[in-house]
Amino acid sequence: VQLVESGGGLVQAGGSLRLSCAASGFTFDDYVIGWFRQAPGKEREGVSCISSRDDSTYYGDSVKGRFTISSDNAKNMMYLQMNSLKPEDTAVYYCAAGRRASYGGNYLPFPWAFDYWGQGTQVTVSS
């Protein structure tokens, strides 16, 4: 099983980036897939999740209205379109997949609920 992120980089505040996550060794069926981020000195934070079953989504409060998650199940790809970026969005972004990341129709955007992780891609937003 492998998850590989790409698309990170340096961008000015107000700019946009699109992150991609390529999955191999498993399919998205029966998995919740999502994006997390971790800034220096901070805990890993759930940013957004999507389910291959019904395309329902979750967004953290800090990114609602600015970030959009999507997936292409046929290609085993996941994306995160990030618009109106802010300096506080600076972090290493990770893609992840988990079978236990939803319960009772609600997402569990916590690291412990995800089984597979990518190596991360750095996003830096300058002011």
pLDDT the model gives residue 76: 93
d(CA 84, CA 105): 30
Q: Per the structure block, which two tokens stand in for 7? A: 């698309």
The predicted model gives 73-77 an average pLDDT of 92
pLDDT the model gives residue 104: 84
The per-residue pLDDT of the chain, averaged, comes to 95
Give me the percent of the chain exceeding a pLDDT of 70.
100
Q: Per the structure block, which two tokens stand in for 68? A: 């959009």
Confidence at 85, pLDDT banded by 50, 70, 90: very high
Query: Per mean pLDDT, which range of 6-10, 35-39, 72-76, 102-106 is the poorest?
Result: 102-106
Q: Could you tell me which of 89, 82, 83, 80 has the C-alpha nearest to residue 125? A: 89
24-49 pLDDT, tens digit each:
999 888 899 999 999 999 999 999 99
Residue 83: pLDDT over 90:
yes
